[in-house]
Structure 1
Amino acid sequence: MRRHSFSFLLLSPLLTSSHGANLFVSHYSGTVYTLTLSNNSDGAYSLTLNTSLYIGGQPSWLTWDSSTRTLYIPDETEYFGTPNAWSVAAATNGALSLTGKATAIGGGVANTLYGNHQYLATAHYDLSQITTFKLPLTSSSTPLQKIALNMTGPGTVPNRQNAAHPHEVLLDPTGAFLLVPDLGADQIRIYQIGSTGLLTACPSYFELGGTGPRHGAFSANGSILYVANELSNSVHTFGMAYNNSRITLKKLQSLTTFPKNATAPTGTKVAEVHVKDNFIYAANRNDLSFSPSDSIASFSLNSVGLMAFMNITSSGGWHPRTFDINKAGDMIAIGDQTSANVAIVKRNITTGELGPQLASLRVSTVGTA
């Protein structure tokens, strides 16, 4: 069971001044926080806690809709989860107010908006399902679809692949498909989006046994898909072709998240992957490369989107479950799960290099991995 974890979203639209920005942070204790990153008069940066709001459950993900200024937050609590929609008022420094709450199955680990922000899809890791809702959420909202994900038997890593385990839902660059990395079934599931928000299953891409696809990101031009794999501690590069209302994936490359394509230290689990311009980054949990901190792996991308390993740098804490890059591209915010802190790290927009750390703030109780 995942405890004392948090995820966050760096919200560049919520600039409070030329020297500050707001961030939202969710923590598995059931609390959502707003933080402010400030550039002080001496040139140093600081993170401060502005507000905290207890919503209960295990808020596992934050999806921001800038058009309605709404956060959509799924609950990972098993069997009794409720996705919550929170509106954000910038005039009150990011304070949250509840705008809607719909009852759904539990185990929600990630969600995404689709259909021109008319619908919400959620991946339910433990319950092996995808659910969709018509927006806005209300107390009377019921799922538009509940899609059960099946597999014929345990996977190559039976204790982690005993069932289908979708870990994310990704809207493709055309807005016509949802892609679902399934850690349990070693598949990248693909769904076509209908005009009424209904999803229709397309042929999946099948990975090698024991890969464990977890999170994905698209290249800046939308032609390449990158997938971070938790069980093989690797990142895969896929070319995407659109044919007859289908997406076909072709694997172009596989690299580990360590120098010289080395095998990850025992206990490492790759988490998220993000693309910014001609660079891609992946989080290494529990590798302890900068003990007691873990690492972020950096890759450069060539003109056709293939990766070249650059280096690993400190994540500023333990178990970097999630991270995000600001719009300007000069900083990343890292959510270190077990040490329960947010670390802000400088990013060179030209070279893609990360470091040094600019600020850090612990938001809640330190957990156990």
Structure 2
Amino acid sequence: MIYIGCYTAASGGNGVGVTAVRREASGEFTKVGELALPSPSWLCRHPSADVLYAALESDEGAVASIDLGGFAVLDIVPTGGSSPCHLAVTHDERFLLCANYGSGSLAVFGLAADGRITGRTDLVVHEGSGPHPDRQEAAHVHMAVPLDTPQGTLVSAVDLGTDEIRSYRLSVVGTLEPAGASAMPPGTGPRQLVRRPGTDLAYVAGELAGTVVTVRESPLGVFTPLEVTRATRTPYEDGPNYVAHLEVVGDRLYVSNRGPDCVTEFDLTGEQLTAVADHPCGAFPRHFSLVAGTCHVAAQLDDAIVSFPMGGGPATRYATGSPTCVIPG
């Protein structure tokens, strides 16, 4: 099963809501269910419960919980901020983290053992700005990344508006305690953070600068920029490159680029990031998932999920309105 989120008319898109599809042996998708929800732009699967969470990206801001067994909405709860754009479940499965992009805040929700949301436990609001006049006029939290440590859960919030990564200690009751702020190069517009397992390195998507920033995390929750790399192998000069999603798989880093409209593959085996390929993937690739050697891309402006084998071969397309997120079930 694969689940697709999208922008609906509530955000100027033409999607319907959350779509469930089955990938056939041929590689084609067959739709098996659809739930009408306002702009479920990010989806997050509970690690063990049969529950899917959807960030409803609107001015009011809400999270929908979906029962995957019956494919029905369980609850819709307000996030405490506007335009939520990212969700993550902590490793102990006790909390759900929500990045509210519009209001520049980070919300925490308690989770029951069955995955149901029990209530909001904390909300922190960032303040600040950056040099980009339109996109960095205020704080814009774009992602929250949990890390299990011997001292408990550490949460690192990526703030596109302030060019920072702010880290917090998450208490056993779901409250956030500041644990440090790390500055990225001015104008980076950090959107996402992904750690490289087994190392102290991590990578930051620079949405506004069209870059990937390699950072060293030492101590935990503190990130020092080491290198700034163009996010595509081939230079792109036809306009801005709005870097979107990052994934680390083994010794490879994959980055989606909106504008160049490709997923760029980087080799991580050397001392520096080395781009080895730009994989065409449809217009405005907002998000992608790598599953069993196949890359499934949410090509937002093509109204399609574009799937292609990473080792080479023909791509397949599944028509769906304004897709923004595609995850395996």
Under a length normalisation based on structure 1, what TM-score does the superposition of the two structures give?
0.79
Q: Which residue identity lines up with residue 248 of structure 2 in the other structure?
A: V
Q: Which residue identity lines up with residue 29 of structure 2 in the other structure?
A: L
Indicate yes or no: 2:110 matched with 1:129.
Answer: no
Q: Which residue identity lines up with residue 222 of structure 2 in the other structure?
A: T
Q: CA RMSD in A?
A: 2.2
Structure 1 or 2, whichever has the larger Rg, is 1
Counterpart selection for 1:321 from 278, 281, 286? 286
Match of 1:24? 3
Match of 1:309? 275
Q: Distance in 1 between matches of 2:231 and 2:176?
A: 33
Q: 1:173 Cα shift?
A: 5.5
Counterpart selection for 1:362 from 319, 326, 329? 319
Match of 2:21? 35
Q: How does 1:1-369 map to 2 (within 5 A)?
A: 22-29=1-8, 30-40=16-26, 45-55=27-37, 57-78=38-59, 80-89=60-69, 96-105=71-80, 106-114=82-90, 116-136=92-112, 141-151=118-128, 154-172=129-147, 174=149, 176-221=153-198, 223-242=200-219, 246-259=220-233, 262=235, 265-287=238-260, 294-302=261-269, 306-315=272-281, 317-326=282-291, 328=292, 330-348=293-311, 355-364=312-321
Contact 1:102–1:138 at 8 Å: present in 2 too? no
Contact 1:24–1:32 at 8 Å: present in 2 too? yes
Contact 1:182–1:214 at 8 Å: present in 2 too? yes
* Greater strand content: 2
User: Percent identical across equivalent pairs?
Assistant: 21
Q: 1:225 Cα shift?
A: 1.1
Contact 1:155–1:162 at 8 Å: present in 2 too? yes
Contact 2:167–2:222 at 8 Å: present in 1 too? no
How has the CA–CA distance of structure 1 residues 35 and 120 changed in structure 2, closer, same or farther, with 3 Å as cutoff? same
Q: 1:66 Cα shift?
A: 3.1
- 5+ residue gaps, structure 1, are 1-21, 90-94, 288-293, 349-354
- 5+ residue gaps, structure 2, are 9-15, 325-329
Q: Distance in 1 between matches of 2:110 and 2:317?
A: 38
Q: Which residue identity lines up with residue 46 of structure 1 in the other structure?
A: E
Contact 1:257–1:264 at 8 Å: present in 2 too? no
Contact 2:7–2:322 at 8 Å: present in 1 too? no
Q: 1:221 Cα shift?
A: 1.9
Q: 1:235 Cα shift?
A: 0.6
Q: Which residue identity lines up with residue 275 of structure 1 in the other structure?
A: V
Contact 1:156–1:209 at 8 Å: present in 2 too? yes
Q: 1:233 Cα shift?
A: 0.6
Counterpart of 1:195 in 2: which secondary structure?
coil
Match of 2:12? none
Q: Distance in 1 between matches of 2:66 and 2:199?
A: 30
Q: 1:254 Cα shift?
A: 1.5
